[in-house]
Structure 1
Amino acid sequence: MRISDSLILVAGLALLSGCSSEPAADPLATGDDSRVSCALSGETEFTDKCDVERVQNGDRRELVMRHPDGGFRRFEIVTDGRGLVSADGAEEAVVTPLADGRIQLSVGDDRYRIPATIRPGAGGG
């Protein structure tokens, strides 16, 4: 399963489009898009060591970020203007657009950089 298929949902970042119901971002086509850059447990450098899995859990769509040590973080894809939320609810997820065509997803001491193209006009409402 390709992350680019699931990122269209993640990138349904109504979060970035204010009150628009259309997706504000599209996935950036890349070669091996099941692996993303991450900095785990407070690391300062990002490396391409995290795998991404899309999961359909009943009527919920989720992204699972898998760590090389076997750990993972689950995020629910939502359409209420937030884009992604922590699926377990323990810690709040923060989504930040980056200038290089990606978004940064942060929760606790873990950060992930996911390819996304922000559509023109995103952020208005």
Structure 2
Amino acid sequence: MSLRTSDALALTSAILLAACSGGKEGQVTDASPLDCRLPGKTTFERLCQVDRMVTPDGTVLTVRKPDGGFQRLLIVKDGRGVIAADGAVPVKVRPVGGEAIDVTTSDGTTWQLPARVTK
């Protein structure tokens, strides 16, 4: 994870994608389009999708690439924003302005998630 507790910025506890949940535990929402930058590319494109599911551990976002690859991310309320949900290789989270975070996985895929970033 690239954010440290000493950083001046902290992510608010709610990623905006989860804010409109209200879904029941175990219920998966319909997939929504999501901007992503695939390995080897230099720009973000709206090629990926995200869905969310409420679990006993919290809200899990599943971000999907066009080739079928995916990453599960757990929304955490400790200022980090999201973490790898399956104990997989950690993701790197970087604030982008005040309205989004970039989440990068070990294969070089970066997803841009809406999130409130506060000081």
Q: Verify same fold: TM over 0.5.
A: yes
Q: Partner of 2:109 in structure 1?
A: 110
Detail structure 1 runs of 4+ shifted over 6 Å in the superposition: none
Deviations 1:63-85, CA, capped at 9 Å, x for gaps: 00011111111001111232210
Deviation at 1:39, TM superposition (A): 1.2
Deviation at 1:105, TM superposition (A): 1.1
Normalised by the length of structure 2, the TM-score is: 0.66
Q: Structure 1 residues 27 and 76, CA, compared in 2 at 3 Å: closer, same or farther?
A: closer
Deviation at 1:58, TM superposition (A): 2.9
Distance 2:114 2:88 in 1: 25
15, 37, 40: which one aligns with 1:39: 37
Q: Structure 1 residues 42 and 117, CA, compared in 2 at 3 Å: closer, same or farther?
A: same
Q: Partner of 2:99 in structure 1?
A: 101
Deviations 1:34-73, CA, capped at 9 Å, x for gaps: 2111012343221101111011233332000011111111
The question of whether the paired residues in 1 share the 8 Å contact of 2:60 and 2:74 is answered with yes
Between the two proteins, the alignment pairs up a number of residues equal to 97
Distance 1:52 1:59 in 2: 18
Q: Which amino acid aligns with 1:106?
A: T
In structure 1, runs of 5+ residues without a counterpart are 1-14, 18-22
Of Structure 1 and Structure 2, the greater strand share is in 2
59, 83, 92: which one aligns with 1:85: 83
Q: Partner of 1:71 in structure 2?
A: 69
Normalised by the length of structure 1, the TM-score is: 0.64
Residues 1:16 and 2:10 aligned together: yes
Percent identical among aligned pairs is: 37
Q: What SS does the corresponding residue of 1:116 show, helix, strand or coil?
A: strand
16, 20, 24: which one aligns with 1:27: 16
Q: What SS does the corresponding residue of 1:36 show, helix, strand or coil?
A: strand
Q: Which amino acid aligns with 2:10?
A: L
Q: Which amino acid aligns with 1:27?
A: L
Q: Which amino acid aligns with 2:67?
A: D
